[in-house]
């Protein structure tokens, strides 16, 4: 029997790969889980009650474009959070089953088969959320990895690509705040990227799922840049999620917002293949988007975690305190060796940076890094960060 080649050469997914790396060795202490970015803070108390009160909704197939009250809650949240003028909740947004679903399917719905007579290119930051690369492969495009590293403040410079590549680009994935580095695209960055998109006629998919976990200033969003520049809104989709904002990764609730024609194309594909969120969960999601109190509490907790990290790691050479998100992206001599040693010495589990990045002619920007998720509770976090500091300093001292 034949198997398709499209996905067979994919590298093993990051977490099984980490398990394979660590499995032969016993942990050198009680486990401190810092590898997976799974939020551990409490979700809002009202969520289970709303699901229970609306349990009758499990009796019906949920509508493809989502419950009107959820669409309205999302549109009002976008307007308030990003200072946008009216968002049409019927044509410019719809709820997703987590942003991951939308990030993948939007590529299927909107990347043309060819561009200017050539094979399409889909650009993405490097390191990157792995879904972008698989989406590009699924539509037969060339994924192009654009390094986001210290020299460019961890924001990919798409402008530096050859014109030949930009002219066959159909989609640019951009993540801000970024996973793993926690770098934030300024309004200026978004506007420059939109100008490039106009010039070379491509779309921008903005993955903004970490937008609410920030340290000081709220990150700028791409939709505000669209309204300020007057760029064709069909060029842009923005993706948001309750997974990080509201500590609800298991609710599988996010949304996409953008130009009405693009949204209609997505809905058309989703009508055939999608799995809309069950209605009781949509009701709970609507309440979560309408409430900011829990979001402020959540952010405050992460800010305390970052302060702890600054205090413990501040003296480590090249330590960089991220602007947003909940990861540290820490320089080591070799990320894989560092992850293994931390496990063997102290039971601390972190992810080698190279498991999130790709080799390029300009090197692999994840190779000398580890990604550390600040999701554990404070005692574990303190123990984990201290072990990481000791390890990184021991590397420095030979």
Which residues are near ligand PLP by CB under 6 A? 37, 98-100, 129, 175, 179, 207, 209, 241, 243, 249, 254
| Helix/strand/coil for 14 | helix
Nearest to ligand PLP of 62, 95 (CB atom): 95
User: Distance (Å, rounded) from C-alpha 304 to C-alpha 310?
Assistant: 10
Structure tokens at 370: 């580890």
State the minimum distance, in angstroms, from the CB of residue 2 to ligand PLP.
31
Q: State which residue has the least CB distance to ligand PLP.
A: 98
Residues 111 and 282: their CA atoms lie apart, in Å, by 29
Kindly tell me which of 37 and 62 has the beta carbon lying closer to ligand PLP.
37
Q: How far is the CB of 371 from ligand PLP (least distance, A)?
A: 10
* Residue closer to ligand PLP (CB basis): 179 or 298: 179
What gap in Å lies between CA 178 and CA 90, rounded to an integer?
A: 29
- What's the start-to-end Cα distance of the chain, in Å? 53
Least distance CB 325 / ligand PLP (angstroms): 8
Name which of 83 and 250 has its Cβ closer to ligand PLP: 250
| Cross-strand pairs, 237 | 205, 258
Sequence-ordered alpha helix ranges (H) in the chain? 14-22, 46-53, 68-82, 99-110, 131-138, 163-167, 187-200, 222-229, 242-245, 260-273, 279-289, 293-313, 335-346, 378-396
Considering beta carbons, is residue 125 or 280 the nearer one to ligand PLP? Answer: 125
- Give the nearest distance from C-beta 234 to ligand PLP in angstroms: 22
* HSE-CB of 92 using CA atoms within 13 angstroms: 21
CB of 209 to ligand PLP, least distance (A): 5
- From the CB of 288, what's the least distance to ligand PLP, in Å? 13
């Amino acid at each position: 029997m034949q198997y398709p080649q499209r996905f067979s050469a994919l590298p093993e997914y990051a977490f099984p790969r980490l398990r394979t790396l660590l499995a032969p060795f016993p942990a050198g202490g009680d486990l401190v889980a810092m590898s997976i970015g799974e939020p551990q803070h409490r979700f809002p108390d009202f969520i289970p009650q709303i699901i229970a009160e609306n349990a009758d909704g499990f009796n019906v197939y949920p509508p493809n474009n989502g419950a009107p009250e959820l669409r309205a809650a999302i549109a009002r949240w976008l307007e308030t959070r990003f200072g946008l003028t009216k968002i049409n909740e019927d044509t410019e947004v719809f709820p997703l089953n987590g942003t991951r679903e939308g990030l993948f399917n939007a590529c299927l719905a909107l990347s043309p088969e060819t561009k200017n007579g050539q094979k399409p290119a889909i650009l993405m930051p490097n390191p990157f959320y792995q879904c972008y690369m698989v989406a590009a492969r699924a539509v037969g495009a060339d994924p192009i990895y654009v390094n986001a590293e210290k020299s460019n403040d961890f924001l990919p410079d798409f402008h530096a690509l050859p014109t030949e590549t930009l002219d066959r680009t159909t989609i640019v994935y951009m993540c801000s705040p970024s996973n793993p580095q926690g770098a934030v695209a300024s309004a200026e960055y978004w506007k420059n990227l939109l100008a490039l998109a106009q010039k070379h006629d491509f779309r921008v998919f903005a993955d903004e799922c970490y937008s609410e976990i920030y340290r000081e200033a709220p990150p700028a969003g791409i939709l505000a840049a669209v309204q300020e520049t007057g760029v064709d809104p069909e060029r842009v989709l923005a993706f948001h999620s309750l997974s990080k904002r509201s500590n609800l990764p298991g609710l599988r609730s996010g949304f996409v917002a953008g130009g009405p024609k693009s949204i209609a194309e997505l809905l058309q594909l989703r009508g055939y293949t999608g799995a809309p969120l069950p209605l009781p969960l949509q009701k709970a999601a609507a309440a979560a988007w309408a409430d900011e109190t829990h979001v402020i509490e959540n952010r405050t907790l992460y800010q305390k975690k970052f302060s702890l990290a600054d205090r413990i790691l501040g003296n480590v050479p090249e330590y960089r305190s991220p602007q947003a998100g909940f990861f540290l992206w820490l320089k080591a001599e070799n990320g894989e060796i560092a992850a293994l040693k931390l496990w063997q010495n102290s039971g601390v589990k972190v992810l080698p940076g190279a498991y999130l990045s790709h080799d390029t002619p300009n090197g692999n920007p994840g190779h000398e890094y580890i990604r550390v998720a600040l999701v554990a509770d404070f005692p574990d976090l303190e123990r984990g960060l201290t072990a990481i500091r000791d390890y990184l300093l021991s590397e420095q001292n030979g």
